[in-house]
A and B are shown apart, each in its own frame.
Chain A
Amino acid sequence: MKLGFMLSEVAEGLRRNLAMVVSIILVTFISLTFVGTASLLQLQIGQMKNYWYDRAQVAIYLCTDISPEATCPRGQAADDVKLQVQERLDSPTLSPFIEKYYFEDKEQAFANFQEQFAGNAVAQYVKPEQLNETFWVNLYDPNQSPILTESFAGLAGVEEVRDQRSYLDQIFLILNIASLAAVSIAALMLISSALLISTTIRLSAFSRRRELGIMRLVGASNFSIQLPFILEGVVAALIGSVLAGITVLVLIQFFVQGFLAQSLPFTSFVGLSDGMLVVPLLIAVGVVLAAAASGLAIRRYLKI
């Protein structure tokens, strides 16, 4: 079958089923937008992990007078606790793992606290003596924080050893759940768009069963009978996935870069270059899905 003739067949099929074609476009558009958003969210999580995990420190909090009895029975840690901790950090067992560490006394902690919670009511009530003296430790490999936890957890005068990554993990958990939700919605919608495509193609084949009968009669090959229908589904899905791609890029440009990045200046966000990775994925998913769905749908019309 010649290309021009086949394309005119495809165009006629699309024209005949215009309403269904529009619904295919919309459903693939929305479902692939979800797929795109989910992939961007994953990229964002990856990027934030890289950024924050590198900066995450392990905090060794020393006891204060208001620390809980169970961990700090003797109240405020004495100076010798500080020396003991320092000695251990410098010891040959631990020092190979440690990039650097520094000590933060109550006054510094108070200053940081005031800065961090400036404008917040809590800043007025907190006094320096309520805050922990803290050793902040940067490890070469942030995954090795259990070494520090084990070495200091039992030490008298140490209230707690806390890996900051445990706070981050909660944030990432929430982000992961959000992207999982987006993926699940996307999966459901992809299923419905596949079913919609196969229904539309079946309808299109049914409305052209006369042509199909004659094509088989005069010996048109299965491939040339099948191809216009597959292309019909693919063209519709392609329009939908291109729209989804554009939406994703617009979202990055105007929402992520234009709004989020401005309001949260110290976080690195996904950019258009990440979007350019996602768009071909969306188009590929749309096209492959449509080709498979319409190919399966048309198969029963090819029995000889």
Chain B
Amino acid sequence: MISIQNVTKKYKGTPRPALDQVSLEIEKGDFVFLVGASGSGKSSLMRLMLREDVPNSGSVHVLGENLVGLPARKVPFFRRRLGVVFQDFRLLPNKTVSQNVAFSLQVIGKSEGFIQEAVPDVLRMVGLGEKADRFPNELSGGEQQRVALARAIVNKPAILLADEPTGNLDPNTSEGIMSLLNSINLSGTTVVMATHERGIVDQMKKRVVELSHGQIVRDQVAGGYGVRD
């Protein structure tokens, strides 16, 4: 599903590579936490999986595509098979909840009929069926992240990438988001989540990949956040 081999990524102007000879395999249906301090390389790794960047050396295969050799014009079509959420939700403030979700389907050319069926479905699934016509600024942070999640999964992606999805939320709200991610995972979607929230990782008992200074220092099934930080 995701296969990363000997990847090194250097950014201009920094002597130390952000990722140093990283190899990682993620199977279909996995739920993987990427943990580590700020600057450990979590975000760089996520960017490579999303093909926002390409490594200086090594190979990245996601969903059967070789992302290093993927021509730019094919990248949009690759991204349609992924879902992504971020810490800052990235919703459009001038569109309602359902318009936000519908927008992501409209821009990839889905039919109105499909959109009218899929959007209410996915909003019910994330628990926002009643708030479809609200604007993002009328929602709590947790609800906004649910909208973002709904947008990410409405197209039924095989992989969901979540970059610090609970970073802006209080612990109670985070719990709701995590159970939502868990049920998304149980329905067959592979979930990769970068976080540095100890409580969440310890509670979920999922696979944990820890990065430090651009290297994988731990890859543990059903692990906790660990002692190192």
The answer to whether A218 touches B107 (Cβ under 8 A) is: yes
Smallest beta-carbon distance A159→chain B, Å: 77
Whether a CB of chain B sits under 8 angstroms from the CB of A211 is yes
Can you show 24 pairs from A to B with CB atoms below 8 A apart?
A: A1-B109, A2-B112, A210-B92, A211-B103, A214-B90, A214-B103, A214-B104, A216-B76, A217-B79, A218-B79, A218-B80, A219-B75, A219-B77, A219-B78, A220-B107, A221-B73, A221-B108, A222-B73, A222-B76, A224-B107, A224-B109, A304-B51, A304-B72, A304-B75
Whether a CB of chain B sits under 8 angstroms from the CB of A215 is yes
Which residues of chain B have C-beta atoms less than 8 A from A218's C-beta?
A: 79-80, 104, 107-108, 151, 155
Smallest beta-carbon distance B46→chain A, Å: 12
Chain A stretch 195-224: residues in CB contact (< 8 A) with chain B? 210-211, 213-222, 224
Smallest beta-carbon distance B128→chain A, Å: 18
Q: In the complex, what distance in Å separates the CA atom of A218 from the CA atom of B84?
A: 8
Q: In the complex, what distance in Å separates the CA atom of A17 from the CA atom of B78?
A: 33
In the complex, which of the residues A5, A211, A221 contacts B76, with contact meaning CB atoms closer than 8 Å?
A221
Query: What is the 8 Å Cβ interface bit string for chain A, positions 230-242, against chain B (1 contact, 0 not)?
Result: 0000000000000
The answer to whether B52 touches A210 (Cβ under 8 A) is: no
Q: In the complex, what distance in Å separates the CA atom of A2 from the CA atom of B110?
A: 8
| Count of interface residues, chain A, beta-carbon cutoff 8 Å | 18
Which residues of chain B have C-beta atoms less than 8 A from A211's C-beta?
A: 92, 103
Smallest beta-carbon distance B83→chain A, Å: 9
Q: In the complex, what distance in Å separates the CA atom of A1 from the CA atom of B111?
A: 9
The answer to whether A219 touches B103 (Cβ under 8 A) is: no
The answer to whether A210 touches B107 (Cβ under 8 A) is: no
In the complex, which of the residues A5, A217, A221, A225 contacts B77, with contact meaning CB atoms closer than 8 Å?
A221
Which residues of chain A have C-beta atoms less than 8 A from B103's C-beta?
A: 211, 214
Which residues of chain A have C-beta atoms less than 8 A from B75's C-beta?
A: 219, 304
> Quick one: which of A2, A5, A218, A222 has the most chain B CB within 10 A?
A218
The answer to whether B106 touches A1 (Cβ under 8 A) is: yes
Which residues of chain B have C-beta atoms less than 8 A from A225's C-beta?
A: 107
Q: In the complex, what distance in Å separates the CA atom of A5 from the CA atom of B75?
A: 23
Which residues of chain B have C-beta atoms less than 8 A from A215's C-beta?
A: 107
Which residues of chain B have C-beta atoms less than 8 A from A216's C-beta?
A: 76, 79
Q: In the complex, what distance in Å separates the CA atom of A217 from the CA atom of B82?
A: 9
The answer to whether B51 touches A219 (Cβ under 8 A) is: no
The answer to whether A1 touches B107 (Cβ under 8 A) is: yes
Q: In the complex, what distance in Å separates the CA atom of A220 from the CA atom of B108?
A: 5
The answer to whether B76 touches A2 (Cβ under 8 A) is: no
The answer to whether A219 touches B109 (Cβ under 8 A) is: no
Query: What is the 8 Å Cβ interface bit string for chain B, positions 101-124, against chain A (1 contact, 0 not)?
Result: 001101111011000000000000
